[in-house]
């Protein structure tokens, strides 16, 4: 049986797959086009996809023998899951293993934006540091402030756990109240309240039809003037242009982006603002996590091709 991997992933998972199957790994740096991927998919029994691969009906139909689509990500909004399911093709993701790494990046963004780490570093490198000054790079306090978490799943909870160490008041909004919110001292509130009361907001929800532009212009206008918003989930949850306008006009204090509405494109002008931090979607990018993700996709494929239900099926 053949496994096609659309972009190279750490060796650990590939080696597991090679013990059992023929593995066709795309080794190039430049991304394959959809057409090229579909060509290589023709005789594949399994495919490892990346979050930017457009796994739509056409793509799925190209895999005539396909039994499983193993996404190398926790998010799977790039896949037409309903269609795959209809065709009897499994879809799996990589949950849990990237929770802590992604929560760390949310916090890296909160700290970097609040304390102006990037401009301060640039200033020092440029030889502008002449000595301590009372007004040099004043930022925003974090201790004791209110953190609003949108999406209280695994990653949202990991963000909350870190916030407890910062003595923050934690409020959250989710599709429904989560049962163990008491563990995080977190209070369930409606979205409007969260936006009006939070000093820091972290987005940790999946991208779905319901969360697309959840933070639209109108809702973004509820944010406090000192608010800092970070997004490590999916770009289209925010109307990026509307957020840019707020940032440009100083209507909120800052924002940290790991993801973008039209990734890899960035709303023009964002790069000129010094109250934003712009990362290239590195939430899960630690050596340890990426190894675990690689093993996880391999295990799911082995499950499926050996006739079992894969362990990380996205529908339960």
User: Is 281 an active-site residue?
Assistant: yes
Kindly write out the interface string for residues 95-114 of this chain, putting x where it contacts ligand DGY by CB under 6 A and - elsewhere: ---x----------------
Closest separation in Å from C-beta 283 to ligand DGY: 4
Closest separation in Å from C-beta 83 to ligand DGY: 20
User: Is 40 an active-site residue?
Assistant: no
Under rule CB under 6 A, residue 73 binds ligand DGY:
yes
116 contacts 253 by C-beta, under 8 angstroms: no
CA diameter of the chain: 67
Under rule CB under 6 A, residue 298 binds ligand DGY:
no
- Tokens 């969360």, residue located: 211
Closest separation in Å from C-beta 282 to ligand DGY: 7
Q: Give 63 or 235: the residue with its C-beta nearer to ligand DGY.
A: 235
Closest separation in Å from C-beta 314 to ligand DGY: 12
Radius of gyration of the chain from its Cα atoms, rounded to whole angstroms: 21
53 contacts 37 by C-beta, under 8 angstroms: yes
Q: Percentage helix, strand, coil, to 5, in the chain? A: 35, 15, 45
Of all helices (H) and strands (E), which one includes residue 131? Answer: none
Residues whose CB is less than 8 angstroms from the CB of residue 127 and which lie 6 or more positions away in sequence, other chains included: none
Residues whose CB is less than 8 angstroms from the CB of residue 121 and which lie 6 or more positions away in sequence, other chains included: none
- Strand, helix or coil at 286? coil
162, 173, 281, 290: the catalytic one is: 281
Kindly write out the interface string for residues 31-60 of this chain, putting x where it contacts ligand DGY by CB under 6 A and - elsewhere: --------------------x---------
User: Is 177 an active-site residue?
Assistant: no
Q: Give 75 or 153: the residue with its C-beta nearer to ligand DGY.
A: 75
Q: Which range in 13-21, 68-76, 169-177, 294-302 contacts ligand DGY by CB under 6 A?
A: 68-76
Choose, by CB under 6 A, the member of 284, 294, 300, 312 that binds ligand DGY.
Answer: 284
Question: Could you tell me the strand order of the sheet in which 146-150 lies?
Answer: 186-188, 169-173, 146-150, 200-203, 228-231, 254-257, 276-278
- Strand, helix or coil at 26? coil
Under rule CB under 6 A, residue 75 binds ligand DGY:
yes
Short-list 198, 166, 211, CA closest to 184: 166
100, 197, 245, 263: the catalytic one is: 263
| Binding interface with ligand DGY (CB under 6 A) | 51, 73-75, 98, 281, 283-284
Query: Which residue numbers are catalytic?
Result: 234, 263, 281
């Amino acid at each position: 049986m053949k496994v096609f991997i659309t972009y190279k992933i750490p060796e650990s998972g590939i080696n597991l797959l090679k013990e059992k199957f023929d593995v066709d790994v795309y080794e190039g740096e430049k991304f394959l086009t959809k057409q090229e991927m579909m060509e290589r998919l023709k005789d594949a029994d399994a495919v490892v996809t990346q979050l930017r691969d457009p796994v739509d009906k056409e793509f799925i139909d190209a895999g005539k023998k396909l039994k499983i689509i193993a996404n190398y990500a926790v998010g799977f909004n790039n896949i037409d899951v309903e269609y795959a399911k209809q065709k009897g093709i499994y879809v799996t993701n990589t949950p849990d293993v990237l929770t802590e790494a992604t929560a760390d990046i949310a916090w890296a963004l909160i700290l970097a934006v609040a304390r102006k780490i990037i401009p301060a570093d640039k200033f020092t490198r440029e030889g502008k540091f002449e000595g301590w000054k009372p007004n040099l790079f004043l930022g925003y306090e974090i201790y004791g402030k209110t953190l609003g978490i949108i999406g209280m799943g695994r990653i949202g909870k990991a963000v909350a756990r870190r916030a407890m160490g910062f003595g923050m008041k934690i409020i959250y909004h989710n599709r429904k109240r989560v049962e163990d919110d008491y563990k995080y001292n977190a209070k369930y509130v409606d979205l409007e309240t969260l936006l009006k009361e939070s000093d820091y907001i972290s987005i940790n929800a999946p991208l779905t039809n319901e969360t697309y532009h959840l933070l639209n212009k109108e809702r973004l206008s509820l944010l406090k003037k000192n608010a800092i918003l970070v997004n490590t989930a999916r770009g289209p949850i925010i109307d990026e242009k509307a957020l840019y306008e707020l940032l440009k006009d100083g209507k909120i204090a800052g924002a940290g982006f790991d993801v973008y509405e039209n990734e890899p494109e960035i709303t023009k002008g964002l790069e000129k603002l010094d109250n934003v931090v712009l990362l290239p979607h590195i939430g899960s990018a630690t050596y340890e996590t990426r190894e675990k993700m690689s093993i996880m996709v391999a295990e799911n494929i082995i499950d499926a091709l050996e006739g079992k239900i894969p362990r990380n099926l996205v529908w339960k």
